[in-house]
A and B are shown apart, each in its own frame.
Chain A
Amino acid sequence: MENYYIWIPLAPLLGAIIAGLGGKWIGRAGAHTVTILGVAVSCVLSLMTLYQQYWGGAEPYNGTVYTWAVADGINIEVGFLIDRLTAVMMSVVTFVSLMVHVYTIGYMAHDEENWPAGSRAGTNSYQRFFAYIALFTFSMLMLVMANNFMQLFFGWEAVGLVSYLLIGFWSARPSAVFANLKAFLVNRVGDFGFLLGIGALLAFYGSLDYLEIFDAARAQPGLTMEIFPGVAWSVVTVACILLFVGAMGKSAQAPLHVWLPDSMEGPTPISALIHAATMVTAGIFMVARMSPLYEMSEVALSVVLVIGAITAFFMGLIGIVQNDIKRVVAYSTLSQLGYMFVALGASAYAAGVFHLVTHAFFKALLFLAAGSVIIAMHHEQDMRKMGGLKKYMPITYWTMLLGSLALIGTPFFSGFYSKDAIIEAVGASDRIGSTFAYWAVLLGVFVTALYSFRLFFLVFHGKERMDEHTRSHLRESPLVVTVPLILLAIPSVLLGLYAIEPMLFGDFFADSIYVDEANDVLAVIGSHWEGVLAFTLHALATPTLYFAAAGVLVAWFLYLKQPDLPALIRQRAKPVYKVLESKYWWDEIYQYGFAGGGRALGYVLWKLGDVAIIDGLLVNGTARSIGRAAGVLRRVQSGYLYHYAFAMIIGLLLLLTFYVGGLKGWF
């Protein structure tokens, strides 16, 4: 049974290699066929794994596939840990990836228009794009299937690399290059923490293997370390917080969130796949995977909870004032990722992962629908130049509506169940920071509804604000675009209804997620569980639903009923707008504070340390002496035979003296 696991990551990798290296020869059709085939194989096998793990009653698999090296007792290896958590992630990743692959055929069909004429990078860009997204699928699968930190880190960095390549895919645009550099640098900060966390675990528990680390941590829960002399810190807490710093980078939590909105410079399919559905959820997956560690540290969980809550609420607010269609969805992603971390922080790991799954579907759907609008609008992304698209693009309209309803948490839609569960769980939690988190996520519901329907009304209803030329070309997108939309809409609507009971209150995750009994908020909620319908009806008695409804209503009033009002509000509440529009000045802080400060410091070090001391004395000094030595050697290599023979005889003599002399004790 296990022997096919290896093909799950390998199939997309093969596709990526063929499309990437042979793109010139196999052409466009060849490239998308081979990568889609690879991802399809992987998707089918993943679903098979999920089936076997949940319905087939298969035991979790934990085994090594390939050992690259053993250094000082530490195995550097590729190994898989396949349990239900992994199987769910694999299925989500491969399914969304497959949809995105198909969609890309339509989205990138006229990619040559996005490049300056005669650009070298623009040749075969279509094939390259497919190679990248297939490579991403491989990396993501390596990440989720890992059974050790080395492979996790490999996957972690590999998805980061592909994300970097794809954000800057249109490398002829300065804004894209800026954005990918930014994503890269911000992720460096997170990855540094992540690496330190792995290092801490390795140093104190002597292993990289998940299960071995869990056992070792359980065996000595009180282990402490001294970072500053005299202050004892719990190893688990330090390691968990450091790992979470990595998760903050990858999953764009405040204050490391600044790269995600800018990443929208990349083509829309990857915004859907990488920057909404899969890669950015790697942090959530990682924390859930490490639940046995996090459960041992109240402090770390509180940090997760508070950071998640801040992101969930404040990033949602920014979404209200954005005008770029993709940026609105991007801020919504940030906010929803915050929700997931809130769930993790409240020890409701299952709820976090559940929201991850439903979010993956409806957010991918929203992005792809936004992409469909962008195709129709000829790559115009400003919502102020849209409006009334409903009659031109019915399929996009209806699927986007379903996605938005799921996002804001309308009863019977998937997002409702996952988000409501999170809010209930936080409400039931008594962890430090949980009251703040509860209000943040509750108010966040209103904000979510407001920006979602602001976008919806601005794009599809109201006056048609585009120019005449664009209007005449408006039409529904081709089948390769709309079919994935429809296929993604199905789980966006139905998944929650069916999955909530086993995932949250049943034994779906079995042993793959560990929750301490004292922290198990989901069990508390589960004790009142009386079926899906009762849960849904119960929502009528909670404020959540009314917050969402109020959000939609306000959006309707402001953008359809009284479209002049927003401008007026903007004028009256100028300071608030200013704060939101400049995104709390995080970008400025980083650019002038860190980047500017870094540059200034770098300048000083360069002038003083580098140019004067290192270059002048050390490097050039060394280089000069090596250069001189090489010059001497060159002269010795004169080309004259007798010189060579002479050197040999001298060598022989030297060896003899050195050696016989050494033997006789002459030296």
Chain B
Amino acid sequence: MSFMPDFALAAPEIWVAAMICIVLVADLFVPGKNSATSYYLTLLTLAVAAWLTIDAQWGAEAMTFSDMYIADSLGVVLKVAIYGLAALAFVYSRDSLIRNKLMMGEFFVLGLFAVLGMMVLSSANSLLTIYVGLEMFSLAMYALVAFNRNSGTSAEAALKYFVLGALSSGILLYGMSMVYGGTGSLDLGEIAAVAAADGDNILLLFGLAFLIVGVAFKFGAVPFHMWIPDVYQGAPTPVTLYLGTAPKVASVALFMRLIGDGLGAFADQWQTMLIVLVILSLAVGNIAALVQTNFKRLLAYSTVSHVGFILLGLMAGTEEGYAAGLFYAVTYGITAAGAFAMVMLLQRDGHEIGDISDLRGLFQRHGWSALVLLLLMFSMTGIPGTVGFYAKLLVIQAAVNVGHIWLAALAIVFSVIGGFYYLKVLKVAFFDKPEGELEMVAPGGYRAVLAGNGLAVLLLGLFPQALIAVCMAALA
């Protein structure tokens, strides 16, 4: 046995960490307008990281750094999804950042730090790695929310997010300490072994409740969702876009590693707790969204309800359920990215879209964007033909297969309620009389990405098999 850890296995993380330093330095010294160098370097970083990850880790089942880091297929799927969603966020953000004079290299540095944190989280095999990854990504996110230093709301949102985040980290850490006390190990494999042998360990069970709260906060599940609407609305939209997409996948990673792998033996116990969270999230998310007038806030509450669905899949505690939750998180990320991009790229009377009513006349002015919006909203509702339908179908199927039929029925009832506010958005965009100025401010390239985003939602809905197969393979 060698004492030298296998660095090659963690090549993607090392590469991203190195590139963060390079981007930071390059941003200081390479001249150029609007941090173009940093932007392209960031995209390059993500692309190469994707290649490294798939090349080195797909199908592997290896550990390094004293078994604190694991390289497996699940990690690959999680990470590649995170790269993709992060890249989408960076691409969409650029134009908005430049327009609002917020384009600084730090955006990309912080963004990459968050990516690195999520990567570490995705490959964690010990409580310590999990915590390090979680904090690395959370701290970067707090800073990003405050990115618009001159805006009061931005600062307020960041502060709220930070304080509540710190509180949840504390709770999570407290739970971890109990788990450590109960098992005497930080290693998830060993924790799992102890948990399987000693199913009545009250300390472990107590710790589990705290861990669930920590995870639920990251997801934004009710009643740990309070930060979501305020932060989504207060943060600069590019940050909201980022916050609303990749971290959802990272939250699935957190759940999978900490609860699914580590405490899988206690499935009966955490299922009960997740059911409570699912019901509350679906109910509060959907009902609160009904009365929102602000589009970003509407999307925030809709996120809460989607979290309910993701948790519904994870709750099943089966491979099928995990795969369904993963599929849901990834496809929701793609859909939400498009929806937030819509907010950024459309301007009414020189301002970003604020209220839903600002969308009136979109169909008459920009038929293409309206069509994309239609696809995105349909997907969020879960209308067949779009990917959202399959996402919902899979989680509901997973729940039914473990016998929670009434819960599945409840989820369907709430998605019908959800249909109302998504369709309301479309009603405004398609049928309300256009007045005032409604402009698509972004240059053609962004529109092409947006159109591609809408098309992806449609194509994944028509040909979902490949992505489903990947999600299943990750968990097999």
- Which residues 83-127 of A sit at the B interface, judged by CB distance below 8 A? 120
- Is B210 interfacial (CB 8 A cutoff)? yes
- Is A608 interfacial (CB 8 A cutoff)? no
- Is B442 interfacial (CB 8 A cutoff)? no
* B272 with A633: CB separation less than 8 A: no
- Is B205 interfacial (CB 8 A cutoff)? yes
Mark the stretch among A498-506, A585-593, A651-659 that contacts chain B. A651-659
* B209 with A648: CB separation less than 8 A: no
Mark the stretch among A289-297, A561-569, A624-632 that contacts chain B. A624-632
Instruction: Point out the residue from A630, A655, A662 that lies within 8 Å of B287, measured CB to CB.
Output: A630
Mark the stretch among A128-136, A243-251, A407-415, A639-647 that contacts chain B. A639-647
Number of A-B contacts (CB under 8 A): 80
* A645 with B163: CB separation less than 8 A: yes
Instruction: Point out the residue from A643, A645, A659 that lies within 8 Å of B167, measured CB to CB.
Output: A645
Instruction: Point out the residue from A626, A634, A648 that lies within 8 Å of B164, measured CB to CB.
Output: A648
Chain A interface residues (CB < 8 Å from chain B): 21, 68, 120, 626-627, 629-631, 633-634, 637, 639, 641, 643-645, 647-648, 650-652, 654-656, 658-660, 662-663
Give the chain A neighbours of B403 by CB distance below 8 A: none
Closest CB-CB distance, A225 to chain B, in whole Å? 30
* B223 with A648: CB separation less than 8 A: yes
Contacts A629-B287, A648-B167 given; does A655 touch B213 at CB 8 Å:
yes
Contacts A68-B462, A652-B213, A659-B272 given; does A645 touch B287 at CB 8 Å:
no
A659 to B223, CA, bound (A): 16
- Which residues 423-467 of B sit at the A interface, judged by CB distance below 8 A? 462
Instruction: Point out the residue from A21, A627, A630, A660 that lies within 8 Å of B209, measured CB to CB.
Output: A660
Give the chain B neighbours of A644 by CB distance below 8 A: 160, 164, 226-227
- Which residues 354-374 of B sit at the A interface, judged by CB distance below 8 A? 364, 368
Closest CB-CB distance, A186 to chain B, in whole Å? 27
Instruction: Point out the residue from A68, A643, A659, A662 that lies within 8 Å of B226, measured CB to CB.
Output: A643
- Is B139 interfacial (CB 8 A cutoff)? no
Query: How many residues of B are in contact with the other chain, CB < 8 A?
Result: 34
Instruction: Point out the residue from B168, B209, B290, B368 that lies within 8 Å of A659, measured CB to CB.
Output: B209
A652 to B227, CA, bound (A): 16
Closest CB-CB distance, B261 to chain A, in whole Å? 21
* B288 with A633: CB separation less than 8 A: yes
* 6 nearest CB pairs, A to B: A651-B223, A644-B226, A630-B291, A633-B288, A652-B213, A656-B209
- Is B230 interfacial (CB 8 A cutoff)? yes
Give the chain B neighbours of A631 by CB distance below 8 A: 291
- Is B171 interfacial (CB 8 A cutoff)? yes
Q: Is the interface of A mostly helix, strand, loop or mixed?
A: helix
Closest CB-CB distance, B435 to chain A, in whole Å? 16
Give the chain B neighbours of A630 by CB distance below 8 A: 287-288, 290-291
Contacts A647-B223, A651-B224, A655-B213 given; does A633 touch B284 at CB 8 Å:
yes
A654 to B209, CA, bound (A): 10
Give the chain A neighbours of B210 by CB distance below 8 A: 652
Closest CB-CB distance, A5 to chain B, in whole Å? 19
| Max chain A C-beta neighbours (<10 A), residue from B206, B216, B223, B269 | B223
Give the chain B neighbours of A645 by CB distance below 8 A: 163-164, 167
Give the chain A neighbours of B462 by CB distance below 8 A: 68
Instruction: Point out the residue from B226, B273, B417 that lies within 8 Å of A655, measured CB to CB.
Output: B273
A663 to B268, CA, bound (A): 10
Give the chain A neighbours of B227 by CB distance below 8 A: 644
A650 to B213, CA, bound (A): 11
Closest CB-CB distance, A665 to chain B, in whole Å? 13
* B229 with A652: CB separation less than 8 A: no
Give the chain A neighbours of B288 by CB distance below 8 A: 630, 633-634, 637
Closest CB-CB distance, B220 to chain A, in whole Å? 12
B171's nearest neighbour on chain A, judged by CB, is: A652
| Max chain B C-beta neighbours (<10 A), residue from A626, A645, A652, A660 | A652
Give the chain A neighbours of B287 by CB distance below 8 A: 626, 629-630, 633
Contacts A630-B287, A631-B291 given; does A663 touch B167 at CB 8 Å:
no
